Amino acid sequence: VTGSLAISLQSCQCLAWKPRPVGVWPCPGESQHVVAGYSDGTVRVFSVSRTEMELKMHPHAAALTAITYSTDGEMILSGGKDGIVAVSSPRTGMTIHVLADHRGSPITVLQCTRKQYHDLGVEGGELWLASSSDRRVSVWASDWLQDKCELLDWLSFPAPAGPEGLDSLPPSLAAFCPWEHGVLVYVGFGLQKEALFYSLRKKQVLRKISLPAFAMSLSLSPSTPFMAIGFNDRLLRLQPCPAGDPQDYAGHDDTVHLCRFAPSGRRLLTASHSAVLVWELTGA
């Protein structure tokens, strides 16, 4: 990244790469794009190859805490510290939806995944979820071309009385399960230290996996049934699913606050306060 782009990202709070359409190979000279959310409530789209900003939008009144592209790259979903979720078009720069269902609690995760159009009994070719710090997860079915966005499920996970303020609690994290259709995984502060597998079809928790501590980061492999979970005590765990012996690693010197599998599932990126590590997964 050149100096000009690095300067533009100084107050950045979250980032996401624009996905490529399924089955489409990159054209020579085609620019990759990244979208960034800022502390001033702005969303900015950058061309990586040209190292310049192409679009700036201001859909939020509060700092951004989560951002992602829709699966086709045609929409940007952004979430703020005030719990507001905005859906904006990078083509027009217009915000087409504003959802206040999580108002009052910072958005911790936004994720999109593809679906069959009438799968789960609702229209739309995409599912997406939003998770907030107050242990709530909303799941939506959308068809952006038809201006449709329908709430599919609303999850609220109980927890004991904790310290004052949500900032001191472990984050509420959720992700669609790549290897188990119609299932999402949730980790967060709760009655037990565990990962929950929830079925969107059956509207119930299918199973639980015990954890040694409350998770601080989560990523699910797109190619094999493995979870990567980061903890507060420098521990990284690779957990086979639905069952199996976990593998624990202590390569970090601080909280493992980020886990992210590569699209191939063969590499895993993890980050703590002072280190970024890339792991090679043999046999993945």
pLDDT given for residue 10 in this prediction: 65
The pTM (predicted TM-score) of the whole model is 0.90
Rounded mean pLDDT of 197-210? 96
Per-residue pLDDT tens for 45-92? 999 888 889 999 999 999 999 999 999 999 999 999 999 999 999 999
The first and second tokens of residue 92, run together, are 């027009």
- Pair of tokens at residue 26: 């990159």
Query: What confidence score (pLDDT) does residue 7 get?
Result: 43
The answer to which of 43-47, 48-52, 130-134, 186-190 has the lowest mean pLDDT is 48-52
Concatenating the DSSP letter of every residue in 208-260 gives: EEE-SS--SEEEE-SSSSEEEEE-TTS-EEEEESSS---EEE---SS---EEE
The confidence band for 24, taking pLDDT boundaries of 50, 70 and 90, is low
Query: Which pLDDT does position 284 carry in this prediction?
Result: 53
pLDDT at 30: 55
Q: Given a cut of 60, is residue 235 above it in pLDDT?
A: yes
Choices 3.90.1150.10, 2.40.160.50, 2.130.10.10, 3.40.605.10: CATH for 11-20+32-150:
2.130.10.10
Q: Per-residue pLDDT tens for 92-130?
A: 999 999 999 999 999 999 999 998 878 888 888 999 999
Q: How confident is the model at residue 178 (pLDDT cuts 50, 70, 90)?
A: very high
Those residues with Cβ within 8 angstroms of residue 240's Cβ, 6 or more apart along the chain or in another chain:
225, 226, 246
Residue 21: what pLDDT? Answer: 66
Decide if 268 contacts 261 (C-beta within 8 A): yes
| Residue 2: predicted pLDDT | 45
pLDDT at 88: 97
CA pair distance 26, 204, nearest whole angstrom:
41
Range with lowest mean pLDDT among 40-44, 120-124, 252-256: 120-124
